[in-house]
Structure 1
Amino acid sequence: MQSPQTRAWWKEAVVYQIYPASFKDSTGSGFGDLNGITSKLQYLRDLGVDVIWLSPIYESPMRDMGYDISDYRAIHPDMGTMADWERLVEEAHALGMKVIMDLVVNHTSDQHEWFKESKKGGYKRDWYIWQPAKEGKEPNNWGAIFGGSCWEWDEVSKGYYLHVFDVSQPDLNWENPAVREAVWDVMRFWLDKGCDGFRMDVINCVSKEPGFPDAPVTDRKEYYQYGLLHRFNGPYLSRYLKEMNEQVLKYYPDAFTVGETPGIATPEDAIALVRAGKPLQMIFHFEHMYMDIEPDKKCFFHRDWKLTDLKNILGKFMLHMQEHNGWDSLYVENHDQPRILGRWANDTTHRVEAAKMLAIFHATGRGTLFLYQGQELGLANPGHWTYDELRDLEEINFYDAEAAKRPPGADMSDVLAQIQDYRVWNLANELSDPKSPLAFWKELLKIRREHRGLVYGVFEMLDWENEQVYAYTRTDERGQYLVVCSFCAEETAWKCPVASGTLLLANYVVSTYEEGGITRLQAYEGRLYCRTL
């Protein structure tokens, strides 16, 4: 067994992501707000949450639901006031919880005063990335994540500005030291006010490939075709993050940091950013989120996948991090993705059982645990939306792009059926139901707190080639934990290769005979065992 991992509060934490606009409306406006979040803090603490992560709450035109920031030091009026934020943090801290913010600093809104000044050609011109036309055309062939070109012509200043995402989100020029210092000031502002850390939005996009060369076109359309790696993971990324640590984070040693890093495809790439928790404690990679989607359809159309695909992604990431002093994030849902229940399991005939199995699978891996709002309720993807009900910019752009490929008035129901969003299932019933997914999550998180081997124990995959059962062990000096999860819609035979021990939690009633040696599993069955070594 390997030597024990260095302990840290952020490794043991349960982080709960809140998308404020859809979480809790305290005013009847139809828009979630900070006071609504504050009213649910005790619920979150009772669930077992240690940290709440707020998706953007800053002043914004809301073109991209707050990820287009027009003032980093102001609260969006629909969400409340700075006094409301301060009360939220104060009450969270009183309950023993921390609050982290979304740090969105690859780009701003085009309504930010910095960009307005940049367009005028003033002293902030070089705060954004401007390029002249190249032979009468755009500077290169890079495509924007939300569709179309990465470049937008500005007639007033006679130049193209870069926007890796939406046209309303111009990219900051991180090669300019003044831009980096402005970002450090924003971080200090919130940390000094009581913020406990940051989730850093697309942080590996802040360094682009120098010279902006054309990207090779491949057969992977739209999202990948113009070279994701040309827009992400530039050569100065590590330097910028080390400077962030030297200028800001080292003065706040308890601050929480997780970086969102699309395009980090291998654990070897990831380890450079998170070894020993510096400059980032962990990252969000996306390989398991890409596993079941069509490359040219983003996250809205799904393709067949195998359980070994998932093992070869998550299992290998965990093993590599374990061997090289790195740490993982454990997430299966967020604001950018459809609910996992209908993607990896079953949200109809075995909804409750599948939700509980996925909970065991999710909460017992090696890494810090992240829950997305409503995941603890076993929420599924809604099946019926109209175009007018869409709010997410990526969904709207995707729908419009698909509609443009069809004749006017063509049926778009298949596209709407694939676009997923958020809906409350039935919190009131689950609070009073001891067999609900919510009750199961509470018990599971209690077990995780009491059995730190589920956090720090050595990870080892079992039966790598099995396409129905995902199983692994976590082992520390006190004992061994066995996690067994069936991803099969029917009963399946499976012979466990290790001794099981005492059953801690399961989503079905398990007979005494089955506890002694697992030979079969019911549809979407999940079990967690512990035995003393």
Structure 2
Amino acid sequence: MSARVFPARRATAAHRPAAQSAEWWRTAVVYQVYLRSFADGNGDGIGDLAGLRSRLPYLSWLGVDALWINPHYPSGGADGGYDVIDYRAVDPDYGDVGDLEALVDDARRLGLRVVLDVVPNHSSDQHPWFRKALADPDSPEAARYHFAPPSEQPPNNWKSLFGGPAWSRTPDGRWYLHLFAPEQPDLNWRDPAVAADFERTLRFWLDRGVSGFRVDVAYGLFKDPELRDNPGLYSPTLFGHGPEQAMTWNQPEVHDVWRSWRAICDEYPGTMLVGEVCLADLEQVALYSRPDELHQSFAFRLLKSPWSADAFEDGVRSALDAFSTVGASVPWVLGNHDKDRLVTRFGGGAVGTARARAAALLLLSLPGSAYLYAGDELGLPQVPVPDEAKRDPIFFRSGGARAGRDGCRVPLPWNTAPGVGFSPDGAAAPWLPLPEGWDSLAVSRQSRDGASMLTLYRRALALREASPALGSGTAEVSRAGDVLTIRCTGPDGSVVRVVVNMGAETTLVRTRGTVLLASTTTVKRSAHSVALPADSAVWLSED
């Protein structure tokens, strides 16, 4: 691993005033760690808790408030850890419960909170419950899943998100439901035993000091009790699932689960729940963040929008409007482990990099919390992983028609040594292959480059910490052609204007204020204006 030393920025519990309160999550910057790809501590080619612990000083130096860790549980390995065998244990590939407790303790000393991923919609087909359900159709465990009697055809037209039907047959001819991979049977939340077990799981980890949970498929859990056909073809809209899938998602009963979970978190001050809610209607998404439910539900509109001032204006405005109706802050997202990397989505190469830099300044200015995906601060592109090395079930379930998500999960480059510092010297090959030239994007190189993507993120996070107008307060959204402007006003009345030029030509921005930060060094300042190049952004204080 790299010998680069990253000094901790602080020893307090958090660095933003709002983050010091019990509602730290309202304005926090949360860094998503794809554990398997972050840092390998024992040399087996797989990222683990020991590797993550060794890199906590980097996250403190970067300036984030918390880290969210993708699933660390024992898993069947069918879907990157989202097929869980034991919800109250740690996969041996990653360490053990003691390692996670040590991670939480180390993080706390550095002023970082730890948020875990929890997967309530489905388990692994290797979970003891499902194994008993297969062995005995009349067992209590069988009632904890969705089974249908033997027949020639599946019970309905429901489709798997990973491709193909959502029903598979058991050896005795029954059908069972899996809205993802066949190795991920959906749990039946109408059985009280399921709810009771997950409540034990929450307390197990909260007792070990974690600060909350990201809830996978929070809009799922309950299905139509009559298993009726979905009314439309299985073709999600650009922004998420809609009424064409009314029988499989967003059932009203699911909100009672979040009220129950919220009550548990209320017993542990300073803890939170953030839900993955992939619905097309943002007003429906916001309902998951009512005061007695989840603390937050992700706003995915920007994550799924093209590089367009019109699309981004709608994404920002619609989220601010929807979440304001329930008094919740917006958890903004531009990248995660399920979506192609920012640089590639925005055009690739120099153009995609410029746009990703500008988008970072937009994201980190908006009122609410910001969720960063590990490696986006390095400007990593989507990697074309060879078919023979792919692991994602989407690739296999689609017969190769969909590339899958492996390309955004390639291990991080830490230094310029062979293996890019992901593993110790002499380690096994990384679990996904590293592309040529990966070392050019390494942390060790970028941390010494004043013009790098990493330096831009670190400067932006430091300014966000220092300015009440960034991440807090209110925002006014306006657009003139391809130029998007966000006027951010802090609780103290201070104002920062964020201008993003999403067009192809340089635009002139009238201002008497100070340039706090720009996404490019080619911004030109004159007495009363700023010349903002194409695909760039600037933060302006209103003096």
Q: What band does the TM-score fall into relative to the shorter chain?
A: 0.7 to 0.9
State the 1:494 CA deviation: 4.9
Q: Which residue of 2 aligns with 1:524?
A: 535
| Among 48, 53, 75, the residue aligned to 1:38 | 53
Number of paired residues? 490
The separation in 1 between residues aligned to 2:246 and 2:483, in whole angstroms, is: 34
Counterparts in 2 of 1:274 and 1:37: CA distance versus 1, 3 Å: same
The separation in 1 between residues aligned to 2:385 and 2:193, in whole angstroms, is: 45
Counterparts in 2 of 1:197 and 1:420: CA distance versus 1, 3 Å: closer
Q: Determine if contact 1:146/1:166 at 8 Å carries over to the other structure.
A: yes
Q: Which residue of 2 aligns with 1:126?
A: 143
State the 1:210 CA deviation: 2.7
Matches within 5 A, 1:409-424: 421-422=409-410, 424=413
Worse-matched range after superposition: 92-101 or 500-509: 500-509
The separation in 2 between residues aligned to 1:196 and 1:50, in whole angstroms, is: 11
Over residues 228-277 of structure 1, what are the superposed CA-to-partner deviations in whole Å (9 max), with x where a residue is unaligned?
A: 3321101201122112223x2221131121000112x223212222134x
> Per the alignment, in what secondary structure is the counterpart of residue 542 of structure 2?
strand
Matches within 5 A, 1:93-132: 93-119=108-134, 120-121=136-137, 122-132=139-149
Over residues 106-156 of structure 1, what are the superposed CA-to-partner deviations in whole Å (9 max), with x where a residue is unaligned?
A: 10000000111222231212111112246x321100001111111111133
Counterparts in 2 of 1:311 and 1:418: CA distance versus 1, 3 Å: farther
- Unaligned segments of structure 1, at least 5 residues: 293-304, 404-414
Superposition TM-score, scaled by structure 2 size: 0.84
The separation in 1 between residues aligned to 2:396 and 2:38, in whole angstroms, is: 21
The separation in 2 between residues aligned to 1:529 and 1:163, in whole angstroms, is: 50
**Are 1:309 and 2:321 matched, yes or no?**
no
Q: Which amino acid letter does the alignment assign opposite residue 442 of structure 1? A: R
Over residues 26-54 of structure 1, what are the superposed CA-to-partner deviations in whole Å (9 max), with x where a residue is unaligned?
A: 22211111100000000100000111111
Q: Percent identity?
A: 30
| Among 521, 525, 528, the residue aligned to 1:508 | 521
State the 1:217 CA deviation: 3.2
Q: Determine if contact 1:133/1:139 at 8 Å carries over to the other structure.
A: no
**Are 1:66 and 2:54 matched, yes or no?**
no
The separation in 2 between residues aligned to 1:85 and 1:115, in whole angstroms, is: 27
Q: Which amino acid letter does the alignment assign opposite residue 529 of structure 1? A: L
State the 1:495 CA deviation: 5.1
**Are 1:389 and 2:405 matched, yes or no?**
no
Q: Determine if contact 1:485/1:526 at 8 Å carries over to the other structure.
A: yes
Q: Determine if contact 1:256/1:281 at 8 Å carries over to the other structure.
A: yes
Q: Which residue of 2 aligns with 1:455?
A: 471
State the 1:226 CA deviation: 10
State the 1:421 CA deviation: 4.6
Q: Determine if contact 1:386/1:416 at 8 Å carries over to the other structure.
A: no
Over residues 175-201 of structure 1, what are the superposed CA-to-partner deviations in whole Å (9 max), with x where a residue is unaligned?
A: 111110101001100101111100000
Over residues 422-469 of structure 1, what are the superposed CA-to-partner deviations in whole Å (9 max), with x where a residue is unaligned?
A: 353322210211221111111110111111221222111112x62x22
| Among 237, 240, 250, the residue aligned to 2:254 | 237
Matches within 5 A, 1:12-411: 12-119=27-134, 120-121=136-137, 122-133=139-150, 136-156=152-172, 158-218=173-233, 220=235, 227-246=244-263, 248-263=264-279, 265-276=280-291, 278-292=292-306, 306-344=308-346, 346-350=347-351, 353-382=354-383, 384-398=384-398, 400-402=399-401
Counterparts in 2 of 1:395 and 1:224: CA distance versus 1, 3 Å: farther
Counterparts in 2 of 1:484 and 1:237: CA distance versus 1, 3 Å: same
State the 1:393 CA deviation: 2.1
Worse-matched range after superposition: 282-291 or 141-150: 282-291
- Unaligned segments of structure 2, at least 5 residues: 1-17, 414-440
The separation in 2 between residues aligned to 1:193 and 1:65, in whole angstroms, is: 24
Q: Which residue of 1 aligns with 2:433?
A: none
The separation in 2 between residues aligned to 1:392 and 1:111, in whole angstroms, is: 18
Superposition TM-score, scaled by structure 1 size: 0.86
Q: Which amino acid letter does the alignment assign opposite residue 187 of structure 1? A: L
Matches within 5 A, 1:431-470: 431-463=447-479, 466=481, 468-470=482-484
> Per the alignment, in what secondary structure is the counterpart of residue 77 of structure 1?
coil
The separation in 1 between residues aligned to 2:497 and 2:507, in whole angstroms, is: 17
Q: Which has the higher contact order (CA 8 A, sep 6+)?
A: 2
The separation in 1 between residues aligned to 2:406 and 2:47, in whole angstroms, is: 25
